[in-house]
Amino acid sequence: MHITTGSTSVRAKPTDDQLDIYALTHQGMVRTENQDHFLVCQLKKQMEVLHTSLPNVSVIPADQERLAMLMMVADGVGGHFGGEEASRVAVKAVAQYLSESVHVYYTVDTTDDSVFAEKLAAAALRAHERVLERREANPALGRAATTLTLWIGVWPRVYLVQLGDSRYYVLKGDDLVQISRDQTVAQDLLDQGVLTPEQASRGWWSHTLSNAIGGVESLPVVTSIENDWKYVHLLCSDGLTKHVSNDQIKERLQAMTSAQQACEALLQDALDAGGTDNITVVVGRASKDV
């Protein structure tokens, strides 16, 4: 089914039962703790939690039409206690902000990217404030910070809010496109021509964030793209991409039988290759045409 507006044909928004989404997280083969957190929600008049690694989060039933889909990945840094705390606080703060202000999505013109981007960036900045407040109240957290990759689908567009190096990919047929940009010192130096790609992949700078929730610099970067029924979406922490190449990610997504199967296959690839970091994978797609 298509909706035609003027000379533009827009395919109807997938219904809830046409969405195939799955998420998982794993501490890896080396770490004794997991500092990653994720959240997958439907935004209606209330927030309905579908999958999360957060403890004690209730599932809130909602019968209203889905307004938007929300997916988040946060990868904490700053030691076991601090990193896990930072990523958990950030994901909860964004979820709370969006849940409390969901009416914004009924009043903001989502065709105006600049206005909508400001609202989404505000959610990330709220998370930054919460992490700073938690650090001030508990000095033991030290310099705890976290990445945040926030994906929100407001059909037929996708908006990405990013701080750090947790990635967002889109599989478009035979092309796997990395929409996010790694916000690390290494990537900054690579972009400036100071480092070669080989140099950028080694050394402390490759793992040092230049932009993060709770970091010295916390500047949300918002990107928007057109969505399509044929696209497969992937969010992940760098525990996946340290070990699994883009070619292997593309192969797994092209061969997927379900979002769960793809997540589990990618996780196993990362574990088989060493699993030196926490691994979080979120995969979503429209599962059938109408």
Strand order in the sheet with 279-286: 19-26, 279-286, 232-236, 167-172, 175-178
CB-count exposure of residue 105 (10 Å: 0-12, 13-18, 19+): middle
With residue 107 as reference, give the H or E element that holds it: helix 104-107
Q: Residue 27 pLDDT > 60, yes or no?
A: yes
Better-scored residue on pLDDT, 154 or 277: 277
Residue 113, pLDDT > 90, answer: no
Closest listed residue to residue 65, CA positions, set 14, 127, 110: 14
What the block records as the tokens of 264 is 């589990």
Name the pLDDT band for 285 (thresholds 50, 70, 90): very high
CA separation for the pair 236, 167 (Å, rounded): 5
| Separation in Å, CA 127 to CA 26, 75, 96, 149, 220 | 23, 13, 10, 12, 11
Q: pTM score, two decimals?
A: 0.88
Summarize the confidence of residues 34-58 as an average pLDDT.
Answer: 82
pLDDT at 199: 75
Q: Which amino acid is at 133?
A: E
Q: Which domains does the chain have, with CATH numbers?
A: 2-286 (3.60.40.10)
